[in-house]
Amino acid sequence: MNRPAGVPPAADPPPDRPAATGGTRGFIGHVGWRPVLLALAIGAAGGIAFNLLRMPLAWMMGAGVACTVAAMSGARIGVPNKLRQSMLVVLGVLLGSGFSPDMLEQTPRWLITMAVLVAATLTSGGLIYFILRRFGRYGANTAYFCAMPGGLNEMITLGAAFGANERVIALMHSVRILTVVLTIPVWYRLMYGASPSVFQAGSHALDLAPRDIAILVACGVIGAFLARRARMPAAMMFGPMLLSGVIHLGGLTASRPPGELVALAQIVIGSAIGCRFVGSVLREVLRDVGFGLLAALLLIVLAVAFAWLGHALTGLSVDDIILSYAPGGFAEMSLVGLALHADIAMVATHHLFRIFLVVMGGGLLFRLLIVPKLKPPAVTDDQPA
Q: Quick: pLDDT tens for 221-259.
A: 999 999 999 887 778 888 998 899 899 888 888 888 888
> In this structure, are residues 30 and 278 in contact, taking their beta carbons and an 8 Å threshold?
yes
> What's the confidence (pLDDT) of residue 308?
96
> What totals of helices (H) and strands (E) does the chain contain, helices first?
16, 2
What's residue 116's pLDDT? 96
Q: Using pLDDT thresholds of 50, 70 and 90, give the confidence band for residue 312.
A: very high
**Would you state the pLDDT for residue 196?**
54
Nearest to 169 by CA among 135, 121, 132: 132
- Global confidence as pTM: 0.73
Average pLDDT of the chain? Answer: 82
Torsion of CA 159, 162, 168, 169, to 10 degrees: -20
Strand partners, 28: 79
Averaged pLDDT for residues 335-356: 81
Instruction: Give yes or no for residue 17 having a pLDDT over 50.
Output: no
The mean-pLDDT minimum among 16-20, 154-158, 293-297 falls in 16-20
pLDDT of the residue at 7: 52
pLDDT score of 45: 97
Cα separations in angstroms, 228 against 11, 89, 224, 340, 348: 32, 12, 6, 29, 18
Q: Are 235 and 89 in contact (CB under 8 A)?
A: no
Is the separation of the CB atoms in 279 and 262 below 8 Å? no
Q: 164 or 195: which carries more pLDDT confidence?
A: 164
The band of 295, judged by pLDDT with boundaries at 50, 70 and 90, is: very high
pLDDT in tens, 106-156: 778 899 999 999 999 999 999 999 999 999 999 999 999 999 887 777 787
pLDDT given for residue 296 in this prediction: 92
Query: What burial letters (b/e) apply to 185-202, b meaning 16+ CB within 10 Å?
Result: beebbeeeebbeebeebb
pLDDT reading at 200 higher than 80: no
